Each structure stands twice: as structure tokens, then as C-alpha cells.
Amino acid sequence: MSLSQFASEYDQLPPSEQSQFADAVRRLLADGLIWREDEGDRRIFTFLLRRRELVADYLSVAGWELRHHERIGAFQVVHREGAHRRRLSRDQTVWLLLLRLIYAEKRERLEVSLTRYPVTEVGEVARRYADFFPGQNVRKRSSLDDALRSFQALKLVRGAGGAALRAGSPDQMIELLPTLELAIPAAAVTALAERLAAYGKPARGAGDAESPDED
């Protein structure tokens, strides 16, 4: 669609939908993800279902691709050149890989749960860390606290019952959301154990290549 065609279609929107259009674009670029089941996203998700092509055409001018993951119920924006990818710290990456691996295992086992999506305890995540890195101390509580807070904001996990997740509550249940599949696709799950093991190796010497943060 040309810019003139876009402008013509946009001008035909009622003022209320022009406002929703601006909100949708702003939230997509800020969050990267609009999930149908997030209460704060539902209105924008419904708008995107109606006006997906118009929003996609607008974003494409700046190199963004709008993806609709129908099974998960989410819209995601990804830059075609890989720019503007969210950077995670090394610690956050380790916790994310662990959560994604646990999610995959529980989905395969089809465990019965009182929640819609698979759950695991905060303490279980810490124990799994110890399993992958025997002989090493589990990273300090603030590291897990930071990761849980970040992943909850990114709509990748949530506290069962809606509570804020805290590393100091080992019995607290973490609901593992299907949006984890967007952060780490299913095709990459088989390599997770190897990547986790690699993180557990001693730090390289000054002459070796530095391990980059993961997206």
C-alpha cells in the first residue's frame, strides 16, 4: 500500500478509531507484544483484529513486521533487519531458558492443573538451576526477583491468582504463559539444555571472545 492509499484509508476512520490506531501502534512498539488474555491489552487486541492490515502497512514503512499468532492469541512486532531487539542480561537469559524448558516439559506431560496454563513453584525454578549448575551457588535472590518482575511485565509469566511474583516465596506458583513460545520458539527447545550447560562453564580468559547477552 502506498502512503497516499494509507492516508486515504486512515482518514476514513472515525476519530475514535484513529485514537485506537495511535494507541495500538504506541503499545506495540513499547511492549512488542499484545496478548488477548492480558486485561490491559484486550481493547487493543480487538482493534488489531479489525484493522490489522492498516496497522501492518503503517509499521512496515519503518521496517516493522506485524505478526498475528492466532493459536496463542497475540500480535507481535519484529523488525525485519533484527534491529531494536530487547536485550536481556546474562542472568535474565538463564532464568528465561529455565522457565521455557519447564514450560515445554509440562506441556508434553499434559499435567492436570487448576490454572489454564502450566505452573511451577518459584522454589522449583531455583532447584532446576542447581541441577544444571551443580556445585555452584544459586544466583542471589535479587537476580531471580529482577527476572520474574521483568518477565511478568513482558507477559511471559504471571503469579497464579494474580499475585506479584517474589523470589523469596519458594512455594508461590508461577503460571507459565504460552507467550514463552514467542520468546523462544519450539524449534529451539531441544538446544536449551546445551545452552544452559554452556552458561555454567567457567568464565573465559581475557583473550577469548566475550559471551554476548541474549535476546
Structural domain boundaries of the chain?
3-79, 90-199
Q: Does the model's pTM come out above 0.85?
A: no
How do residues 129-179 score in pLDDT, each as one tens digit? Answer: 878 777 666 556 788 999 999 999 999 999 988 888 998 899 999 999 999
CATH for 90-199 is 1.10.10
Q: Which helix (H) or strand (E) holds 175?
A: strand 173-176
Fold equal for 3-79 and 90-199: yes
CA pair distance 68, 36, nearest whole angstrom: 11
Residue 61 backbone class (left: φ over 0; alpha: ψ -120 to 50; beta: rest): alpha
Predicted local confidence at residue 180, as pLDDT: 96
**pLDDT under 50 in the chain at which residues?**
203-215
| Residue 124 cell numbers, joined | 522449583
Predicted local confidence at residue 193, as pLDDT: 67
Give the sheet arrangement for strand 119-121, strand by strand: 119-121, 173-176, 157-159
Predicted local confidence at residue 137, as pLDDT: 62
User: Which residues on neighbouring strands pair with residue 69, listed in sequence order?
Assistant: 74
**What is the fold of 3-79?**
Arc Repressor Mutant, subunit A (1.10.10)
Query: Which long-range contacts (C-beta less than 8 Å, at least 24 apart) are formed by 3-11?
Result: 3/61, 6/54, 6/57, 6/58, 9/54, 10/54, 10/58
